[in-house]
């Protein structure tokens, strides 16, 4: 193992540049460890974002050697190429500063896709029993573990090329709710995801699935939405 | 530099399925470019037998045969790629899409090769 990694970090906003640092390579070191090392030992003005450090909060995603990744669970041993690490902010989002991308557009699209639970009952109603073995619940469970990291959003060229596209995560979230039998908002939700920039804009190239750190498959969820919206259209509900 | 095109963010394209989508798109574009030529040939048939015969003779040229082989490949790869996407979008999910995409590519190559063998 080489002793030092040549680390190039994006500095500034959109019109920034890469700055090079030499960081000692350690065993079991993550990309987030590298970034933190720079901030603590070389330049305290470096801006980046993280919270949990264990792959739960979804706040640490960055572009690492050209690909979006969750940095707290990406070991340097897996991604260093020729002793080099190039780390930038997530793509397809505005840059706040250095390695911190602005996730606002990403979350706005969750709202647009009606990715919010719409209750069908009040607190006076009894709690509904849902069998984990029922088909809708299996479909929802397969897509539910999203940590909102926006890695898929950064890996999707449809997001890059079509400003209105809702993106893999928002549509994946909508799919979990479409399969939630307690939810009462599906008519509006299906209309929202069938509109321009919705599920039918997806090209099924699976970059989102390939990069999702939680091994989710937004492409499959979006394909589900394509079928569900088509059925709703045929039934005259859209 | 626009935020939508920062240079350092294209690594996600080093991926077989992204390439499959590109092959599908580019083969479609190439076929669309060929279409006018196709209509021209059909037009010749309406124009009269002699001109069509002349044209057909020209297509016996080995270089033209080679180009036609390319065309067969484009058609096959575009059709099979399209069927793969249709299946993804209309049928329950199937894993192993990379293998399916490679199989489509292999089949298109076989079809083009078979055409070339028959042509020579
Ligand atoms: S499959 Fe759809 S959502 Fe996923 S990367 Fe491709 S276009 Fe984007
Ligand atoms: S679907 Fe995966 S990659 Fe996309 S935001 Fe959720 S956890 Fe991250
Ligand atoms: S810091 Fe929470 S997921 Fe990486």
pLDDT in tens, B12-63: 999 999 999 999 999 999 999 999 888 888 888 787 788 888 888 888 888 8
Contact B46, B32 (CB under 8 A): no
pLDDT in tens, B52-74: 888 888 888 888 889 999 999 99
Measured from the Cα of A147, ligand 2's closest atom is 7
User: Which residues on B lie below 8 Å from A223 (Cβ)?
Assistant: 88-90, 93
Same domain, A113 and A230: yes
Residue B5 has pLDDT above 60, yes or no: no
pLDDT in tens, A18-57: 999 999 999 999 999 999 999 999 999 999 999 999 999 9
Mean pLDDT of chain A: 96
Chain B residue with minimal CA distance to A161? B4
Same domain, A139 and A96: no
Q: Residue A21 has what pLDDT?
A: 98
What is the number of domains present in chain A?
2
pLDDT in tens, B92-107: 999 999 999 999 999 9
Domain boundary among A55, A84, A101: A101
Confidence label for B4 from pLDDT (cuts 50, 70 and 90): very low
Q: Residue B1 has what pLDDT?
A: 39
Q: Residue A1 has what pLDDT?
A: 52
Residue with tokens 């298109």: B108
**Mutation probe of ligand 3 site: the residue of A30, A33, A58 with most atoms within 8 A of C-beta:** A58
Which of residues A153 and A127 earns the better pLDDT score? Answer: A153
Q: With an 8 Å Cβ cutoff, are A210 and B17 in contact?
A: yes
Measured from the Cα of A148, ligand 2's closest atom is 5
Contact A80, A26 (CB under 8 A): no
Give the domain CATH number at A162: 1.10.1060.10
Which ligand does the CA of A208 lie closest to?
1
Give the start-to-end residue ranges of the domains of chain B.
Answer: 16-119
Same domain, A8 and A85: yes
ipTM exceeding the 0.85 mark: no
Crossing angle of helices A218-234 and A186-194, rounded to 10°: 110
Q: How far apart are CA A49 and CA A101, in angstroms?
A: 9
Q: Residue B59 has what pLDDT?
A: 82
Confidence label for B3 from pLDDT (cuts 50, 70 and 90): very low
Q: Which domain holds residue A59?
A: 4-101
Q: Residue B58 has what pLDDT?
A: 83
Our measurement of the distance from residue A136's CA atom to the centroid of its chain's CA atoms, rounded to an integer in Å, reads 23
Contact A205, B88 (CB under 8 A): no
Instruction: Enumerate helices (H) and strands (E) in chain B, giving the number of each.
Output: 4, 0
Which ligand does the CA of A226 lie closest to?
1
Domain boundary among A67, A101, A135: A101
Class of domain B16-119 (CATH, top level): mainly alpha
Domain boundary among A58, A81, A101: A101
Our measurement of the distance from residue A15's CA atom to the centroid of its chain's CA atoms, rounded to an integer in Å, reads 24
As a whole number, mean pLDDT of residues A63-78 equals 97
Same domain, A77 and A157: no
Q: How far apart are CA A104 and CA A96, in angstroms?
A: 11
Which of residues B113 and B6 earns the better pLDDT score? Answer: B113
Our measurement of the distance from residue A177's CA atom to the centroid of its chain's CA atoms, rounded to an integer in Å, reads 17
As a whole number, mean pLDDT of residues A206-221 equals 97
Residue A151: both structure tokens together: 């890695």
Residue A58 has pLDDT above 70, yes or no: yes
pLDDT in tens, A120-132: 999 999 998 999 9
Instruction: Tell me the three state secondary structure of residue A103.
Output: coil
As a whole number, mean pLDDT of residues A92-108 equals 97
Same domain, A177 and A222: yes
pTM of the model: 0.91
Closest CA to A37 of A2, A79, A71: A71
Contact A68, A155 (CB under 8 A): yes
Q: How far apart are CA A33 and CA A76, in angstroms?
A: 9
Same domain, A196 and A84: no
Q: How far apart are CA B32 and CA B54, in angstroms?
A: 25
Same domain, A145 and A227: yes
Q: How far apart are CA A21 and CA B54, in angstroms?
A: 69
Give the domain CATH number at A89: 3.10.20.30
């Amino acid at each position: 193992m080489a002793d030092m990694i040549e680390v190039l970090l994006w500095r500034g906003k959109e019109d920034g540049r890469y700055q090079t640092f030499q960081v000692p390579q350690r065993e079991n070191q993550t990309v987030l460890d590298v970034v933190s090392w720079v901030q603590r030992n070389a330049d305290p003005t470096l801006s980046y974002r993280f919270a949990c450090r264990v792959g739960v909060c979804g706040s640490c995603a960055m572009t690492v050697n050209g690909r979006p990744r969750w940095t707290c669970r990406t070991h340097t041993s897996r991604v260093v190429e020729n002793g080099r690490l190039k780390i930038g902010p997530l793509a397809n989002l505005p840059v706040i500063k250095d390695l911190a991308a602005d996730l606002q557009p990403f979350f706005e699209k969750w709202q647009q896709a009606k990715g919010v639970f719409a209750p069908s009952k009040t607190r006076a109603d009894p709690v509904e029993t849902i069998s984990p073995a029922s088909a809708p619940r299996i479909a929802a469970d397969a897509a539910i573990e999203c940590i909102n990291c926006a890695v898929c959003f950064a890996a999707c060229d449809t997001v890059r090329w079509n400003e209105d596209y809702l993106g893999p995560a928002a549509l994946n979230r909508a799919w979990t709710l479409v399969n939630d039998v307690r939810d009462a908002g599906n008519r509006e939700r299906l209309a929202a995801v069938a509109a321009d920039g919705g599920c039918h804009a997806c090209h099924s190239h699976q970059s989102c699935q390939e990069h999702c750190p939680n091994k989710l498959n937004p492409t499959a969820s979006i394909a589900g939405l394509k079928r569900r919206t088509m059925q709703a259209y045929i039934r005259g509900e859209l | 530099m626009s935020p939508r095109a920062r240079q350092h963010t294209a690594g996600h394209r080093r991926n077989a399925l992204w390439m499959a989508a590109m092959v599908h798109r580019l083969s479609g574009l190439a076929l669309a470019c060929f279409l006018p030529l196709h209509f021209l040939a059909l037009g010749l048939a309406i124009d009269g037998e002699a001109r069509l015969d002349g044209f057909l003779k020209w297509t016996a040229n080995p270089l033209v045969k080679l180009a036609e082989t390319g065309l067969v490949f484009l058609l096959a790869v575009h059709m099979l790629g399209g069927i793969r996407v249709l299946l993804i979008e209309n049928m329950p999910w199937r894993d192993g899409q990379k293998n399916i995409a490679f199989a489509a590519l292999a089949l298109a190559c076989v079809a083009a090769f078979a055409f070339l063998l028959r042509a020579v």
